[in-house]
Amino acid sequence: MELLHKDRIPPTAIDQLRRLCRLLDRSLSSLNGVILHGSAATSGFESTRSDLDVFAIVDKRDLDHQEMSQVGTGILAISGDPHPLEFSIVARHSLVNWQHPCPHLMHFGEEKRARYEQGVFGPQSPTDEDLTMHMVVARRRGIDLLGTFPVTELPMIPRTEFLKAILSDFVWAQNQDEDLADYVLSNACRTRAFLREGLVLSKAEGRQWCAERGIDPATIVAEVTAELQREVVP
């Protein structure tokens, strides 16, 4: 299976994404498209630490056990070889009839590896707030890997829903046991760029945008959080 837009994909990710697309094509009976988003589709991808952010679209409202098992087992072998995957499957129906938070059929990240190794492939919750952020990035800058689902067909997300998802992610990150200060700072920078200029940037681009404008990294997280709360909290 050949990928489109290989010139836009990090070279170390091409074979891994090809293997993922082959897995999805042979495992899912109604695969509509496979979309690459995140840093690998924009800029700032770091081969030693970045995830490959991907979601697949299917033209059915649920996955049967065989589909889940085949995808789940295959993902375990593909993720981390060489890059970790952050992967979701979404029903086309959910995109056409958009609501926030978006329902999803399956989700994998390395933090779920133990569950997958035990054969537990279904999502832990029926919806995923992060998909709202992913859709915005994918529609603006994503890559249709198979040429079967143009990113312009992804839903246009209302501004308030996008900002609400960002705020939720800020709250989540600030309440984790591990130190996610750099993650929060990077997201604050790119959120400021969106709030001021409507730009949809990668984390690295967001940090550069703020540095070029002399924005103080010591205060931006609090400032952006307060601005988000003003916009989305009645």
- 9-18: per-residue pLDDT in tens? 999 999 999 9
Contact present, 54 and 87 (Cβ < 8 Å): yes
Question: Among 25, 7, 3, which Cα is nearest to 16's?
Answer: 3
pLDDT at 177: 74
pLDDT at 9: 96
The pTM of the full predicted model, rounded to 2 decimals, is 0.95
pLDDT digits (tens, 9 = 90+) for 104-122: 999 999 999 999 999 999 8
Tell me the average pLDDT across 20-24.
Answer: 98
pLDDT digits (tens, 9 = 90+) for 31-74: 999 999 999 999 889 999 899 999 999 999 999 999 999 999 99
Tell me the average pLDDT across 216-230.
Answer: 94
Tell me the average pLDDT across 114-141.
Answer: 95
The rounded distance, in Å, linking the Cα atoms of 88 and 91 is 10
The Cα-based distances of 120 to 28, 88, 116, 158, 165 in angstroms read 18, 15, 5, 33, 26
Give exposure, 31-70, as e/b (b: 16+ Cβ within 10 Å): bbbbbbbbbbbbebbeeeebbbbbbbbbebeebeeebbeb
Phi, psi (rounded to 5 degrees) for 87: -135, 140
Structure tokens at 13: 């990710």
Average model confidence (pLDDT) for the chain?
A: 95
Helix residue spans in the chain (DSSP H): 14-27, 65-78, 92-96, 113-117, 130-141, 159-174, 181-197, 203-212, 220-232
Confidence of residue 234 (pLDDT cuts 50, 70, 90): low
Confidence of residue 100 (pLDDT cuts 50, 70, 90): very high
The rounded distance, in Å, linking the Cα atoms of 150 and 146 is 9
Tell me the average pLDDT across 153-175.
Answer: 93
